Amino acid sequence: MNADVRLAEWFDRAGRDLPWRHTRDPYAILVSEIMLQQTQVARVIPRYLEWLERWPTAETLAAASLDAVLRAWQGLGYNRRAANLHRAAQAVAANGWPDDLTTLPGVGRYTADAIACFALGRDVLPVDVNIGRVLERSQMRFAAGSAQALMDLGATVCLARVPRCDACPLADGCPSRGRRYEPLRRQGRFEGSFRQRRAQALRAFLEGRDPEDEEAVAALRRDGLLPA
């Protein structure tokens, strides 16, 4: 039994039921992928559903004001992602989906490949952190159709520090079976950081107050998150 088949059988039993797995709409996939960048799945699910209820198409999002988009994004972090999603929707509304999806604002190689695989049916395996970890440790090759299963395996079984090898469908042929790993470098603290100051300045603006942190305001303006 090859690796794709073993993985598929495991996914049938243990795969996560996520709302963006019930659509092939490239816009909905784009929204989910941008939201999922550095944000936990449990936090994204309700916000994703609310977002699509409010802005169900690229055209409706494109017609919204940036202020409205940023307000709706509050709590998801990294507001630049919201601004890029808004700009990407405007580009799609004006010109359609480009052949090279990386030309859309905020869309890198992984996000482009995810849209291509999950929405457009292209034979490409999108490699995020979870999939990359499984590929590196297992030294196995997988078809594009295994992408969702690989994501779940990396997120729930092939964990960064202490993998659950006893629950892994690939364990028998995995050269990394039983290994443990050093903790990854921690992200710099948010409390008291410039990131926090930017977030506070943006929140003040969206609430109709005058942001007093001139340095943070200047940075937000450079990123297109506040009017010049």
- Give the burial class of 42: count Cβ atoms within 10 A of its Cβ; 0-12 exposed, 13-18 middle, 19 or more buried: exposed
Largest interatomic CA distance in the chain? 63
Residue 165: DSSP 8-state: G
Q: Count of alpha carbons within 13 Å of 55, Cβ hemisphere only?
A: 26
Question: To the nearest 10°, the Cα dihedral for 201, 205, 211, 213?
Answer: 30
The verdict on whether 212 is a catalytic residue reads no
CA distances from 154 to 16, 105, 133, 171 (A): 12, 27, 7, 13
Catalytic residue from among 33, 136, 207, 212: 33
- In sequence order, the 6+-apart residues with CB closer than 8 A to the CB of 74 are 203, 206
Indicate if the alpha-carbon torsion angle 206, 209, 210, 211 is positive or negative. negative
Angle in degrees, CA 218, 31, 150, rounded to 5 = 120
CA distances from 47 to 24, 40, 136, 151, 204 (A): 19, 11, 32, 21, 22
Query: Active-site positions?
Result: 33
